[in-house]
Homo-oligomer: A and B are copies of this chain.
Amino acid sequence: MSIGSFHPNVRTLMGPGPADVHPRVLAALARPTIGHLDPQFVAMMEELKDLLRYAFRTENRLTMPVSAPGSAGMETCFVNLVEPGDQVVVCINGVFGQRMKENVERCGGVPILVNEPWGRAVDPGRLEDALKANPEARIVAFVHAETSTGACSDAKTLVEIAHRHECLTIVDAVTALGGCPLEVDAWGVDAVYAGSQKCLSCTPGLAPLSLNERALEKIQGRATRVQSWFMDLNLVMGYWGGEHKRTYHHTAPVNALYALHEALVMLREEGIENAWARHRRHHLALRAGLEALGLELIVPEAERLPQLNAVSVPAGVDEALVRARLLAEYSLEIGAGLGALAGKVWRIGLMGYSARAENVLLCVGALGAVLNDLGVSADTGAAVSSTHAALLP
């Protein structure tokens, strides 16, 4: 066995995440490791909670990163809020809604499904119908920004409907946070989780999370113990809680938290409304280029996410070959379709530090050139021009 140090190529990451990580974030990651109970580290944790409150637009006391990827953030919400026998309405319009259903079942809950076509937002009327038909449901779960399809659901309206039916809400904001408007307090979202590796321009591995007081009451009133020790928020809060005294729970991923802190400092410097606008601006430029290439976004315009663009693969084109050539020839990663959309779409991410002019122009130009090579008639010149025009201020 002869294995040396690993030196990855430099990529341009325009898939569904991880997105390009800003050099400042990588530099923060490599700062000297200190103890997870060091007073300096504890002070940094307090700042991190404040910065996450800024990103989530909330004053929630319980706002912190879970020491594991976004799917552990999801599971943390479900294992704490769902007890055996609880009816939970789950809206499914992609892979991550399906995963929510799995989580409900593994907690012993009873999922009530609102199934939507992939590539569409959740229909508020259908949620309302499900709640009328199931008056005992006390939780509604849905994905704000479906990473598998690029559809954005109207979180504000869905939360309103849930509250009218006395339900708490669990919202997946893994791809939403930092990339499109998300107003945890103004909309009354009860439990929300996200990921570090999408629109925050940070490395993968952490799941920012926020729960309001109604959600905490539900946890405190549980009849049964949370089935996970690692994800039990009663225990996690002893370490992340607001008190001066910290109780050891697990060893925090110290350097990963440095990186998230730096990413959030940068978000604060830019201003979150400016970050939202930046994602939208680059999305419009990408759209202009893709349309000039004759490619179609599968999500109707009003329901599109700026940060994740699902594009139909033209008939007869080997979608995997196109991705392989972009990677080999331009070190450019775009994503494949997932689940029901596997083989049918590419997913082009414009998340965080990936949402910038040079990435958009590279993607449109390289995609056009490779499609031409494969015999698809596409006007790359027009596409580049349209993209460029849309990028001008």
Evaluate contact between A230 and B18: CB separation under 8 angstroms: no
In Å, the complex CA distance between A15 and B39 comes to 14
In Å, the complex CA distance between A227 and B104 comes to 10
> What string of 1s and 0s marks CB contacts (under 8 Å) between A266-293 and chain B?
0010000000000000000000000000
A376 on interface, CB distance cutoff 8 Å: no
Evaluate contact between B68 and A3: CB separation under 8 angstroms: no
Count of chain copies: 2
Evaluate contact between B265 and A68: CB separation under 8 angstroms: no
Most B Cβ at <10 Å: residue of A11, A32, A70: A32
A134 on interface, CB distance cutoff 8 Å: no
Evaluate contact between B3 and A51: CB separation under 8 angstroms: yes
Evaluate contact between A230 and B75: CB separation under 8 angstroms: yes
Write the nearest CB–CB distance from A246 to chain B, whole angstroms.
12
Which residues 206-245 in A have Cβ within 8 Å of B in the complex? 225-230
Evaluate contact between A71 and B250: CB separation under 8 angstroms: yes
> What string of 1s and 0s marks CB contacts (under 8 Å) between A96-109 and chain B?
00010011011100
> For residue A75, which residues in chain B have a CB less than 8 angstroms away from its CB?
228-230
> For residue A71, which residues in chain B have a CB less than 8 angstroms away from its CB?
229-230, 249-251
Write the nearest CB–CB distance from A195 to chain B, whole angstroms.
7
Evaluate contact between B32 and A10: CB separation under 8 angstroms: yes
> For residue A11, which residues in chain B have a CB less than 8 angstroms away from its CB?
32-35, 38
Evaluate contact between A32 and B41: CB separation under 8 angstroms: no
In Å, the complex CA distance between A2 and B9 comes to 36
A63 on interface, CB distance cutoff 8 Å: no
Q: Name A's B-contacting residues (CB within 8 A).
A: 1, 3-11, 13, 15, 17-18, 20-21, 24, 26-36, 38-41, 44, 47, 50-51, 54, 67-72, 75, 79, 99, 102-103, 105-107, 195, 197, 203-205, 225-230, 248-256, 258-259, 261-262, 265, 268, 327, 333, 338
A-B contact pairs, 10 of them (CB 8 A): A1-B54, A3-B265, A4-B265, A6-B258, A11-B34, A17-B251, A33-B203, A68-B230, A70-B250, A106-B225
